[in-house]
Structure 1
Amino acid sequence: MAVSRGRSVLVTGATSGIGLLTVLELGRAGYQVVGTARSGEKAEGLLARARREGVEVRVVLCDATDPLSCEAAVAETAKLTDGGPWALVNNAGGPLPGPVEEIGDEAVRRHLELNLIAPVRLARMVIPAMRACGSGRIVNISSGSGRVNFPFVGWYSAGKHALESISDTLRMELRGFGIEVCLVEPGRFASSIWGRAQEEFSPGPATVYPAAAGLIRRYTEQGIRLRQPFPVARAVRRCLEARRPWARYPVGWDAWVGIYAEEHLPRVLTDYLKCMAIGACPVPPGSRGVLRFVTGGEKK
């Protein structure tokens, strides 16, 4: 039985972390939610959690990196939602940690397929039905890293930067059709992404970046202790409920502070502070005099 399109939402990567909490948040708010899962086992886990929470959720199988799987998932969602969802929440994504120098082309291609090409592909697939109805909403889950770069997570930031850029373009192209596009930019919250980061990173024995392994290990260990991403799920709901949503929704104090610093402080200072914070990089050559001027002194 199809549900009313006006409150229907398709959420990708819905079986854990931000995606799972978003599905539950929207379900409790009265939206008809369809979540994607990569396997039947993960789908059953999502349905079981939803039943425990007293939330109705429908699930479709989808591997976001497979165009045919995406087509099948969108077609099934269209049957469940009377022609297609009113909103799409692109949450599926993953990390690619490590020094830029040591990450090969194939790993980069897989990473960008998941974090950039897949969400745009899914948006292209649902836009025609949204345009035909004269309304719709696309929410892309980015990251504070979409605007703030750190060492050893360069490709993750690059993918999120690109997602933010294409989202800006889509927002301008689609507004005349009644379709709004916005970004959610979480800071650091508990997520399975931290465990996957540890699994993805395997430095070679001859690496010249020994600090990278320690940094990723600390990220993984800290990730277990981070707070759950309930504020991110609530930000997604605000995107859907707002008559005119913001272009960007930073979530978490670290995202707000990092973005403000990146946009307002001298680059030489933000480079220094980020390298100092992770203990992974020397002070950029020639920058000490500038740092003394900006900071009023220099730490020894």
Structure 2
Amino acid sequence: MHSVVVTGASSGIGRATAVELACRGYDVLGTVRSADKAEDLIAAADSHGAPMRTVLLDVADPDSCEEAFAHIGRLTGGGPWAVVNNAGTELMGAVEDIAEEEARYLLEVNLLGPFRLCRLALPAMRRRGSGRIVNVTSHAGLVASPFNGWYAASKHALEALSDSLRMESARYGVSVSVVEPGFHETPMVPDAQRRLARLAADGTSPFQDAYASTSRYLERLRPFRPAEDAARVVCRAVTARRPRARYLTGRESFLTRINPFVPQPLSDAFLRRATGLRGTVPCGDVSR
């Protein structure tokens, strides 16, 4: 039985992926950050009649990653066959409104965390001569929008590093894929809306009006597709005989595909309009 580590398995796409893979007969090790979340994940798998094991892991903590993978090595007899790097966090706000420590933490979770786990998993995969790595990125890794710059930057970097890793690892029988979800029903969008509301209420940002517009725009995009839709695509990347380099998911994937062919001023105008950044604001006036 192939063993698969799924990070960020406590909710959203990670949880749905872990449960789906367990239902398909894989030995799933879902990583979570607390014992309570571990119990909840096991209960979710049990409700589908699928056994699952959990491991406590914080992808932003190098020591936690080392300890967790040492434990995973013992549980799997040397190391997992596959790793799904799903754990991630959002950080809404204009580039100038993001504190440096916030950006650093985002990069720890969304970029450095996945590659810590890749480095820990790859030696066993090379010795075995086979393995799968699936990095969950985002449509934002392909198209950046206002107030999502740091998140988009982290996912764009994850795309680039995945490309390099894919070519480096192929000679050892290890495939590397990225899955690029659009909007799905996960905690991330409500978290983003709550942050936008705080930024709008703060009253110090020149973008406070646009933050409120962006939150309304996100609400207009509902209903989102269920997390299970994206999870099935992640599972396809894990289980395919010949995995593709990229998998796009979500109803927005068509727009993402055509965006490179849209004139930049037109694309900018659409995203500015959607996020309330139309027109110009006189210097010094932060009320509009």
Report the TM-score, using the length of structure 1 for normalisation.
Answer: 0.88
Compared CA separation, residues 105 and 30, structure 1 to 2 (3 A): same
Q: Following superposition of structure 1 onto structure 2, how do residues 149-188 of structure 1 map, counting pairs within 5 Å?
A: 149-188=144-183
The Cα shift of 1:31 comes to 0.9
Cα deviation 1:169-209 (Å, max 9, x = unaligned): 00011100101000000110011112322444532322110
Alpha-carbon spacing, 1:46–1:148, altered in 2? closer, same or farther (3 Å): same
Which letter does structure 1 place at the counterpart of 2:257? Y
Structure 2 segments unaligned to the other structure (5+ residues): 281-288
- State which of 266, 269, 274 in structure 2 corresponds to 1:272: 269
| 2:56 is equivalent to residue 58 of structure 1 | no
Task: List aligned pairs for 1:279-294, cutoff 5 A.
Answer: 279-282=276-279
**1:12 alignment partner, one of 7, 16, 21:** 7
Question: In the alignment, is the contact (CA less than 8 A) between 2:210 and 2:276 conserved in 1?
Answer: no
SS of 1:10's equivalent in the other structure is: strand
- The SS at the match of 1:128 is helix
Partner of 1:96: 91
| 2:231 pairs with 1:258 | no
Q: Are the equivalent residues in 2 in contact too, given 1:194–1:223 (CA < 8 A)?
A: no
Runs of at least 5 residues in structure 1 that lack an aligned partner in the other structure: 284-300
TM-score by length of 2: 0.91
Cα deviation for residue 215 of structure 1 reads 4.0
Quote the Cα distance in structure 2 between the aligned partners of 1:96 and 1:232: 21
Paired with 2:119 and 2:37, the residues of 1 have a C-alpha distance of 26
Cα 1:215–1:24, aligned 2, differ >3 Å: closer, same or farther? farther
Q: What percent of counterpart residues are identical?
A: 45
Distance change in 2, residues 1:58/1:136 (3 Å):
same
Aligned pairs (5 A) from 1:233-252:
233-252=231-250
Comparing 108-117 with 230-239, greater Cα deviation is found at: 230-239
In 2 relative to 1, CA 224–24 (structure 1 residues): closer, same or farther, beyond 3 Å?
farther
Q: Deviations over 1:57-76 (max 9, x none)?
A: 10000011111111111111
Count of residues paired in the alignment: 277
Aligned CA-pair RMSD = 1.7
- Measured against aligned partners, the alpha-carbon deviations of 1:219-268 in whole angstroms (never above 9, x if no partner) come to 665688423111211111111222221111000120x2232232111111
1:189–1:223 CA contact under 8 A, matched in 2: no
Residue 283 (structure 2) aligns with: none
Q: 1:192 aligns with which of 187, 190, 199?
A: 187
Tell me the residue number matched to 2:284.
none
Aligned CA distance change for structure 1 residues 167 and 215 (closer, same or farther; 3 Å): farther
State the one-letter code of the partner of 1:280.
L
Q: What CA distance in whole angstroms lies between the structure 2 residues aligned with 1:222 and 1:246?
A: 32
Partner Cα distance (1:197, 1:276) in 2: 19
Which residue pairs with 2:62 in the alignment? 67
Question: Does the residue aligned with 2:30 lie in a helix, a strand or coil?
Answer: strand
Structure 1 pair 250–44 and aligned structure 2 pair: CA distance change class (3 A): same
Q: Secondary structure at the match of 2:53?
A: strand
> In structure 2, what is the Cα distance between the partners aligned to 1:234 and 1:240?
10
